[in-house]
Copies of this chain bind each other. A is one copy, B any other.
Amino acid sequence: MGSTKTDLFNKKQNELANMAKAIAHPARIAILEQLVKTNACICGDLVVELGLAQPTISQHLKELKLAGIIQGSVEGTSVCYCIDPKVWKKFREFFNNFFVEVGDPTGEGCC
């Protein structure tokens, strides 16, 4: 126990769940916001911006990289991170498709 039974669900459901998990932490949201805001890449500035320790930031970056939503490239002694626009769009579409317009005839749910 303790681990998700992914085999019970279809690919889309697992994929969307993983996407949600990738952004299910305020630090990772803050990182993505920074990367979008500054358009280009930053690196260890993130450690200063957010108040978390360097290993913690590094770990969050790793998870975002694993999810594919960011890229990192070595730039001298520092590392430059940025959004992967392709994957970003994929996220955008997945969440958009999931949160379809839902009818509310009564305006107050159904029960």
- Which B residues are in CB contact (< 8 Å) with A96? 95-96, 99
| Residue tally, chain A, CB below 8 Å to B | 56
Q: Give 26 CB contacts A-B under 8 Å.
A: A4-B25, A5-B51, A8-B50, A8-B52, A13-B26, A17-B28, A17-B29, A24-B24, A29-B98, A36-B100, A39-B103, A39-B110, A40-B110, A41-B110, A71-B111, A72-B111, A73-B111, A80-B110, A82-B109, A83-B102, A83-B110, A85-B107, A88-B99, A88-B102, A95-B95, A95-B99
Q: Give A residues with C-beta under 8 Å from B.
A: 4-6, 8-9, 13-14, 16-17, 20-21, 23-30, 33, 36, 39-41, 50-52, 71-73, 75, 80-86, 88-89, 91-92, 95-96, 98-104, 107-111
